A and B are shown apart, each in its own frame.
Chain A
Amino acid sequence: MNDIAIELKGIDKKFGLVHANKNINMRVRKGTIHGIIGENGAGKSTLMSILYGFYQAGAGDIFVDGRKTVIKDPNAAIAAGIGMVHQHFMLVENFTVLENIMLGAEESQVLNAGITKARDELRRLEQEYELEVDPDAVIEELPVGLQQRVEILKALYRGAEILILDEPTGVLTPAEADHLFRILEQLKSQGKTILLITHKLREIMAVTDEVSVMRRGEMVATRTTAETSVEELAELMVGRHVLLQVDKGPATPGDVLLSVENLSVRDGRGVAMVKNVSFDVRAGEIVGIAGVAGNGQSELLQAISGIRRAVSGKVLLQGEPIHVTGTADPSELRHRGLAHVPEDRQHMGLVLKFDESENSILGYHDDPKYLNGMFLNIDAIRKDATDKIEKYDIRPPNPRLKTANFSGGNQQKIVLAREMERDPAVLVIGQPTRGVDVGAIEFIHKRIIEMRDAGKAVLLVSVELDEIRSLSDRVLVMFDGRIVGERAPDAGEGELGLLMAGVEDSKEAAQ
């Protein structure tokens, strides 16, 4: 019996000028959960995609179960018993669950024969792993948590013995993540091998047996999880000591800069998402809005920043009303001192096809300092972008690079730099560190606190409870479109968790 499921020897990969994987060696023992961590852009997804045959390595060998295996395409990987859940799901959105699972594993030229078999097999998998999902549901109508289940089922359906999961918990609520980990444990107990990429070191500590650390394309260390610590891992990843706990002094709240009164908002389908919400944010304080994703936080942010029209209610910005039920638009609000870092940076914060310098002035392009009469002053824009790159440590430091080629964390820094450097009075931030590595998280948190200490009002929305607790001066909990409670940031996790789940205590209910 060979107990090494996967061995990588000398894997090397270049994308044009980017050296994504440099001579990587790695061993994964059979029947274990093996974590892979590393900063954004360290090359984790690339390495795993090579193992899955999605990319071709420039050099190096792959051994599966001790045998040298040439994986020239995903088909070869599937044949070798490897399955992968990609960071960005690979599902056909307007197909049903069943069609997605069958795709590529149809068994026969005419579908009918395979369909019954697929249904039976699916039912068996569902029962065995508690992975319920309606086989006839259309993917785009399913929440992301369920879409991920479909991806896992896809891999299991093909008989994967080795399962790669690329940042599976980034899109999950804490309860869904727990469920996922239970499934992984179960798979492990059946002798399957799991490779898990995540940015959340807590998850690494909780579920993995071993963990490999990547930095800038290199494999820098492999540790047995039981013999390492979060601090050591963070340091290995970033190459320096990282503060995992944010340092912050007490807040000194001043005037109310942002005031929300009885705001109600509907989503695109006309469903009431924000119901009669009121709160204030003062100068020099960070107000955090905690809640499970989908409880109206997104719509609240969008209404305040002028992207979505509110149904009713009032918003005052520095004492002056914003016409949120009518004409408010983001550009007007920006001029009046409200900066907005949207939750979904790729869709709302950036134009991925533009280069870095263009994105770093997006929305402020009519500022005379970027203009030369009616033309853009490219030199001034590049100079400005270069300054921001330096100040925010955006990598690679090249203002002319296409934004799509930056890693997630660096894209987030581009948006933050753009909005924070305008020196706004009010900063509204959604999910500042989604999919961002620990080094960048530390930096982003520091900048947010600096903004507070400079007397700005900060409204922070995040589904990461840890983040809310460590940054906020006051925590508002949102559930089903309402603010169901206000707590101090040092309130117990359990207490906040219950509020987030909609279990109101009698004191709040009476209010």
Chain B
Amino acid sequence: MEYFDTLIVILQSTVRVSVPLILAALAGLYSERAGIFDIGLEGKMLAAAFAGGAAAAVTGSALIGLCAAILVSVCLGLVHGFASITQRGNQIVSGVAINFIALGATVILGQAWFRQGGRTPQLSGDARFTTVELPFAAEIADIPVLGPIYSDLLSGHFLLTYLAFMLIPFTWWVLYRTRFGLRLRAVGENPGAVDTAGISVTWMRYRAVICCGILCGIAGAYLSMAMTAGFVKGMTAGKGFIALAALIFAKWKPVNVMFACLLFGFLDAMSIRMQGNELPIIGVVPVQFMQALPYLLTVILLAGFIGKAIPPRAGGVPYVKER
């Protein structure tokens, strides 16, 4: 029974840390499926976390914070879009630039506005997202096994958490069952086919980076306004890159994205849990090893050991008709 409780606790934190990964990986999915590689997930998320934290602190409203986060992230997405779609620039360079801008600008602006060493003020009350209890959570809690699963694992999360998990089937539906999704996938595979079918490649790709911006914005808001109460400098701590790894690990498929993010989230939760604890036989596992595991797994996948990850064929290549 003690093991079971431990497991529930670990799974609970798995869900908590997976949410920003899921949101960011889905963001990347919309962009990369349309052929725009986005290494700037990290930067967009960080900027959004800052914007959300700052706006919520000033206005006292979590909703306004969320809107600010999305707005800033979409703007950065449009910068990436302008560089890589309109100007046909190198998508990696543009993404890296966005990461650096976000890293620097959040600290500078944070210090200039709030003078707390790059932090935003602590959020409380309406300025922060609150958790929701599912119906009957308290009543069911005492039933063995099922009780804890329902009350502790499924209930008591932020609204954004439920949103993130609902976005998985929604994204699947959009991608495979709607006109937008069909065109989005097509433009990432062969923009020439999309163009000659009478659809604007540019407009399709801009719409994709906007979707990406919105989701990164939500992910950032989750970090600074739900998971913690305020922005701390560099708080994304590589989550954007892990999300990117998860996206590749998931072979750019929405349902796989959820599993990949949960797996990477689980590894993260384990690494926190295991700090200093000895495992039978193996002994103490260095935290660094656990933190490196997502990347290691992705590299193993890319090396072709776990099936084959084929990126969208036109990914990373600007659409140029006339040389």
Contacts and interface: CB of A to CB of B under 8 A. Distances in A.
B323 A15 contact: yes
Interface string A52-91: 1011000000000000000001110110000010101011
20 contacts: A54-B195, A54-B321, A74-B196, A74-B197, A75-B198, A78-B198, A90-B190, A90-B192, A92-B190, A93-B313, A94-B313, A95-B189, A99-B186, A103-B183, A103-B193, A104-B183, A109-B179, A111-B178, A154-B197, A405-B323
B178 A104 contact: no
A104 B323 contact: no
Interface residues of A, number: 35
Most buried by B among A16, A86, A94: A94
Given A55-B322, A110-B178, A93 B190 contact: yes
Given A15-B322, A55-B321, A103-B183, A111 B196 contact: no
Most buried by A among B321, B322, B323: B322
A108 interface: yes
B190 A104 contact: no
B194 interface: yes
A93 B189 contact: yes
Contact of B194 (A93, A104, A108, A402): A104
Contacts of A84: 196
Nearest to A74: B198
A143 B199 CA distance: 27
A442 interface: no
A104 B200 CA distance: 10
Contact of A106 (B182, B189, B322): B182
Contacts of B189: 92-95
A52 B196 contact: yes
B193 A16 contact: no
Contacts of A52: 196
Nearest to B199: A104
A16 B192 CA distance: 21
A24 interface: no
A404 B183 contact: no
Nearest to A15: B322
Most buried by B among A74, A92, A110, A154: A92
B182 A74 contact: no
A100 interface: yes
A166 B218 CA distance: 48
Interface residue range, chain B: 20 to 34
Most buried by A among B177, B182, B193, B313: B193
Interface in A433-487: none
Nearest to A104: B197
Instruction: Decide if the interface of chain A is mainly helix, strand, loop or mixed.
Output: loop
A112 interface: yes
Interface of A: 15-16, 52, 54-55, 73-75, 77-78, 84, 86, 88, 90-95, 99-100, 102-106, 108-112, 154, 402, 404-405
A213 B180 CA distance: 42
Interface string B101-144: 00000000000000000000000000000000000000000000
Contacts of B183: 103-104
Nearest to B189: A92
Contacts of B193: 90-92, 100, 103
A106 B179 contact: yes
Contacts of A91: 190, 193
Given A91-B190, A92-B193, A93-B190, A111 B179 contact: yes
A16 B322 CA distance: 9
A207 to B, nearest CB: 24
B251 to A, nearest CB: 12
Contacts of B192: 86, 88, 90
A313 B199 CA distance: 53
Given A77-B198, A94-B189, A112-B177, 15 more contacts: A55-B321, A74-B195, A74-B197, A84-B196, A86-B196, A90-B190, A92-B185, A94-B313, A95-B186, A95-B189, A103-B183, A104-B194, A109-B178, A110-B178, A111-B178
